[in-house]
Structure 1
């Protein structure tokens, strides 16, 4: 097993993702532009709600998600432990996944997070191999 979460139901757009962001929660609004950046990675990006959170996929292979908690929001990367992170913004100790915490009063470096998004997208393409 390659550890990739495959979601054949992922599509673009997924109305359930739009409903998640329409909730009115300020922390959800905080991560919405970052989810837009996930969508903008390429024409093969699909989305769905997985485990209650918007999840971005390369085709049907999940590579990142966003979520909102009580005190912060987060952007998570399913293969975050394998990603190049020169600024050290990734957190977590899981075998594969890592996340970046976002707070309205303390945001990560925008350029670093933008770079990480592209690295995660490209990493998933490399992991999946030629189509």
Structure 2
């Protein structure tokens, strides 16, 4: 038994040949001043990562931190 989707996780990785998608289950609720998040669904958003350098940017770190802080509020 692992984590329940959308309730015990705040992000995910989807691997593709040319990129990795770093996704956020509640990405639509996150602040994104750099405009990195893609997607148009009600909740989920993702970033397309094509280089390791992208992961080291402050904007990506800020999104991950915001997503981690957001999760406890969802659990009550």
Q: TM-score, normalised by structure 1?
A: 0.50
8 Å contact kept, 1:64–1:75: yes
- CA–CA separation in structure 2 for the residues paired with 1:86 and 1:109: 17
Match of residue 2 from structure 2:
9
- CA–CA separation in structure 2 for the residues paired with 1:91 and 1:114: 16
Query: Structure 1: which 4+ aligned runs deviate by more than 6 Å?
Result: none
- Taking the TM superposition and a 5 Å limit, the aligned residue runs for 1:110-121 are 110-121=57-68
Match of residue 32 from structure 2:
85
Gapped regions of structure 1 (runs ≥ 5) = 1-7, 11-49, 51-56
Give the RMSD, CA atoms, in angstroms.
2.4
Match of residue 98 from structure 1:
45
Moved more, 99-108 or 72-81: 99-108
8 Å contact kept, 1:89–1:108: no
- CA–CA separation in structure 1 for the residues paired with 2:56 and 2:37: 11
Q: TM-score, normalised by structure 2?
A: 0.82
Higher relative contact order (CA 8 A, sep 6+): 2
Say which one has the larger Rg: 1
Measure how far apart 1:9 and its partner are: 2.0
Measure how far apart 1:105 and its partner are: 8.0
Gapped regions of structure 2 (runs ≥ 5) = none
Match of residue 18 from structure 2:
71
